[in-house]
Chain A
Amino acid sequence: MEDEPLILAFCCHYCAYAAADLAGSMRLQYPSNVRVLRLPCTGKLEVNYLLTAFEHGIDGVLVAGCLEGGCHFLEGNLRARKRVERAKVFLEEIGLEPERLEMFNLSSAEGPRFAKIVGIMSQRLAKLGKSPLRPDCQTVHQNIQAMTDQADAALAGAKHDCCRS
């Protein structure tokens, strides 16, 4: 698993996330190296989300939104596509392959298509290889520890505030 390229999938709640769910219900097989992250709409996506994912060493990112014309919020998926294109320009300037990032459109009824999309990205990344920005295991553990400490501190602060009020 550690050797496989890791894919982050930003999925719209109204289509791709449901399609991923359907793919699971249908017992469809698709590569296991994808991590799904639900968004209320792909229009929520900003360029910095995408770049931050790559900065943290993710090997590929797929953005899956509704079919064009079918966005629950009218044009969120169209905006997302433009932001994906802009992020690709940044990746090219940085020196990272823009192909590591791709946007797809599908409907909530397309479980098989979700599985296919993950397959397409997985194959593409198998060719591109792991991201040169992928941190070593020690750094990953350190980052996780730092985030855990930060969350603990925030929670402790919240509890403290709660007690005071």
Chain B
Amino acid sequence: MIVADRKNVREIRAMIQNHQRVLLVGCGTCVTVCLAGGEREVGILGSALRMALRLAGRDQVIVDQVTIERQCEDAFIDALAPRVGEYDAICSLACGAGVQALAERFPNTPVYPGVNTQFIGILESQGVWTEKCAACGNCRLGQFVGICPITRCAKRQFNGPCGGSRDGRCEVSPELDCAWQLIYDRAKALNKLDELEAVVPPLDWSTGLDGGPRKVVREDQCIAGLGPNA
């Protein structure tokens, strides 16, 4: 899932300082699961923001809140559309994709981010999320026994470990596992150590973000006759 983290109330207050009617929009998908922008968090931010504005002498500013099922899909934004005209700004607590989806859907309404989108990750333990995927567009997990050196090795080394691996930890931080130690241990357990003998060529980064925003098109799923631009 996409993992996000909350923004400071002061930062959000500063972003909306020129607006009088603000709608906080939560998202019921990834950010609900990572406890950053779901219904409860929108309620908390709503309360906090209203109090902060009142204390700053801006009692007249209206801050309302709503949470929709998913912000990154236009069909789900339909439920929100009739209300947006009542507000002069939106603060979205979805990931960066959700914020931009709202911005595209409502060209005349400023949209501000209410959270900091962090990474694609997993729930490691209750309340702890860790990054697992860099979305490089050219998955090589099969070569590294299911452990991604791009995401989990500080040097992103394809042929590791480096000299900074100490007792299974990374030299960058003693709290970080050395990805290459993990790869080695898992390969050994799977009896696949010989596969690590081969020198792995560099990743083809043409599939990465450097070429601009990426697009996935499934012609067979596109509406007939309209193509990917429907």
Question: What is A's interface to B at a CB cutoff of 8 Å?
Answer: 46-48, 51-52, 54-55, 90, 93-96, 132-133
Contact = CB atoms under 8 A, between A and B. Distances in A.
Interface string B31-74: 00000000010011001101110111000000000000000000
Contact of B9 (A52, A54, A55, A90): A90
A49 to B, nearest CB: 10
Contacts of A46: 40
A132 B8 CA distance: 21
Contact of A51 (B8, B10, B51): B51
Interface of B: 8-10, 40, 43-44, 47-48, 50-52, 54-56
Contacts of A90: 9, 44, 48
Nearest to A92: B9
B40 A51 contact: no
Contact of B55 (A47, A52, A96): A96
- Which residue among B48, B52, B55 has the maximum number of chain A CB atoms within 10 Å of its CB? B48
B44 A93 contact: no
A20 to B, nearest CB: 27
A47 B44 contact: yes
Contacts of B56: 95
Q: Which of B9, B47, B50, B56 has the most CB of A within 10 A?
A: B47
B208 to A, nearest CB: 36
Contact of A55 (B8, B40, B51): B51
Given A51-B48, A52-B43, 16 more contacts: A48-B40, A48-B47, A51-B44, A51-B47, A51-B51, A54-B47, A54-B51, A55-B47, A90-B9, A90-B44, A93-B9, A94-B48, A95-B52, A95-B55, A95-B56, A132-B54
A109 B200 CA distance: 68
A51 B40 CA distance: 12
Contact of A93 (B40, B50, B52, B54): B52
A55 B52 contact: no
Contacts of B8: 93
A52 B46 CA distance: 9
Given A48-B40, A132-B55, A93 B47 contact: no
Contacts of B44: 47-48, 51, 90
Nearest to A53: B47
